[in-house]
């Protein structure tokens, strides 16, 4: 690649092609050590035990504990992805009708950026502080006479954890989906109206087909996001290990159990495989949807 003829002028010359390559060596060396080697370690070590090639680690994944965690992780990720995508999608459309550089849009996108990408432990704390035994919202619910009597639900993967996950999934949907919604041109709506179409026709026949690939793509992205999340779940669930990331962390901290570390790597590999499948579908969809968006 680097040998391709360049149209560099003399001022930029002075260093031979091999010298030019030297300029990117630090970058590649660094990413090799801290990104590529770790990825390879996970892939290779999943099949190695005591220096031998083995399928034992992968076979160990067949135990009931891991399969349950995998199933629950997938259900949780799928549910929060779909709910998050629908709610976040509606929100994204609502925001897109606001003034492009208005304060509302800046406020919402910044808030969503924080909740989607920087939250982690703090988000779990927010829910514990609000819905816990002494929480503000629990107190309201008690006063109103609704809601469960105990706060145990908050720490269960299919109730509390699901709610907290939505708290970062909806914002992520807004961030990912907003550009697609903004790609809808007012002219398309006007054209529909000129041709006698109603609002319904516009949505059914124009906007939805255009947005559909982006929407599905964003949903897949939300899925992988929830699937990979660790910090929030770890801060909320302390008793059991109902999700795959928590199980991996479990094998990581209890390395006294022989061979557990490599089982952890096999679990990590399983995660990578799931994420890779979803991402492959996503990449394919994104290529289709980008046809209608300005790059």
Partner 1 sequence: MSQRAAVRRKQAIFRWVTVSVVLAFFMLPLIGMLDFTTKVRRGGRTMATWKTLMNVSEISTKYPALKEGFIASIGLSVITVVIMLALLVPTMTWVRLRLPGMSRLVEFICLLPLTVPAIVLVVGLAPVYSWVFYLFGESTLWLGLAYVVLVLPYAYRALDAGLRAIDVKTLSEAARSLGASWFRVMWRIVLPNLRTAVLSASFLSVALVLGEFTIANLFSRRNLQVAMYQLGKSDAKISVAVGLLSLVFAFVVLFAMSFVGAQRSGSRRRRRPLAAAVAPAPAGTGSVKEPS
For 5, other C-beta atoms within 10 Å of its C-beta total 5
If one asks whether residue 38 binds partner 1 (CB under 8 A), the answer comes out as yes
Nearer to partner 1, 33 or 208 (CB): 33
Instruction: Name beta bridge partners: 53.
Output: 48
Query: Which of 108, 161, 184, 211: binder of partner 1 (CB under 8 A)?
Result: 108
Query: Which of 69, 81, 85, 175: binder of partner 1 (CB under 8 A)?
Result: 175
If one asks whether residue 234 binds partner 1 (CB under 8 A), the answer comes out as yes
If one asks whether residue 60 binds partner 1 (CB under 8 A), the answer comes out as no
Evaluate whether 272 touches 44 at the Cβ level (below 8 Å). Answer: no
CB of 52 to partner 1, least distance (A): 17
Query: Which of 69, 81, 181, 221: binder of partner 1 (CB under 8 A)?
Result: 221
Chain positions 2 to 21 lying near partner 1, rule: CB under 8 A, are 2, 4, 6, 8-9, 11-12, 14-15, 20-21
Query: Which of 57, 171, 207, 211: binder of partner 1 (CB under 8 A)?
Result: 171
Q: Specify the stretch interacting with partner 1 by CB under 8 A; choose among 47-55, 56-64, 141-149, 166-174.
A: 166-174
CB of 5 to partner 1, least distance (A): 10
Chain positions 70 to 89 lying near partner 1, rule: CB under 8 A, are 87
If one asks whether residue 41 binds partner 1 (CB under 8 A), the answer comes out as yes
Q: How far apart are the first and last CA of the chain?
A: 24
Structure tokens at 76: 């949780």
Q: 109-136 b/e with 16+ CB inside 10 Å = b?
A: beebeebbeebeeebbeebbeebbeebe
3-state helix, strand, coil in the chain (%, to 5): 75, 0, 25
Strand locations in 99-239, DSSP E?
A: none
Evaluate whether 96 touches 178 at the Cβ level (below 8 Å). Answer: yes
Chain positions 243 to 272 lying near partner 1, rule: CB under 8 A, are 245, 248-249, 252-253, 261, 264-265, 268, 271-272
CB of 75 to partner 1, least distance (A): 18
What DSSP state is assigned to residue 13? Answer: -
For 199, other C-beta atoms within 10 Å of its C-beta total 11
Nearer to partner 1, 30 or 209 (CB): 30
User: In sequence order, what are the residues at sequence separation of 6 or more whose Cβ sits closer than 8 angstroms to the Cβ of residue 119?
Assistant: 167, 168, 231, 232
Nearer to partner 1, 152 or 280 (CB): 280
């Amino acid at each position: 690649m680097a040998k391709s003829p360049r149209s560099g002028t003399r001022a930029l010359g002075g260093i031979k092609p091999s010298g030019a390559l030297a300029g990117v060596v630090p970058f590649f060396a660094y990413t090799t050590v801290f990104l590529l080697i770790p990825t390879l370690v996970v892939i290779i070590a999943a099949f190695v035990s005591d220096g031998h090639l083995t399928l034992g680690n992968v076979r160990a994944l067949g135990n009931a504990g891991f399969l349950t965690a995998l199933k629950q992780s997938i259900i949780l990720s799928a549910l929060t992805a779909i709910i998050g995508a629908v709610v976040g999608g509606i929100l994204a459309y609502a925001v897109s009708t606001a003034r492009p550089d208005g304060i509302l849009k800046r406020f919402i996108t910044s808030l969503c950026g924080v909740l989607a990408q920087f939250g982690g432990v703090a988000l779990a704390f927010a829910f514990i502080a609000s819905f816990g035994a002494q929480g503000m919202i629990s107190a309201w619910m008690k006063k109103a006479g609704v809601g469960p009597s105990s706060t145990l639900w908050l720490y269960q993967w299919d109730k509390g954890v699901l709610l907290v996950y939505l708290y970062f999934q909806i914002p992520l949907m807004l961030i990912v989906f907003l550009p697609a919604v903004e790609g809808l041109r007012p002219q398309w709506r006007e054209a529909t109206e000129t041709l006698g179409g109603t609002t319904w026709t516009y949505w059914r026949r124009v906007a939805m087909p255009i947005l559909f690939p982006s929407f599905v793509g964003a949903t897949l992205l939300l899925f992988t996001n929830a699937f990979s999340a660790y910090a929030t779940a770890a801060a909320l669930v302390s008793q059991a290990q109902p999700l795959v990331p928590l199980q991996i962390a479990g094998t990581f901290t209890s390395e006294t159990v022989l061979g557990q570390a490599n089982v952890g790597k096999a679990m990590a590999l399983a995660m990578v495989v799931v994420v890779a499948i979803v991402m492959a579908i996503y990449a394919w969809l994104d290529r289709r949807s980008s046809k209608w968006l300005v790059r």
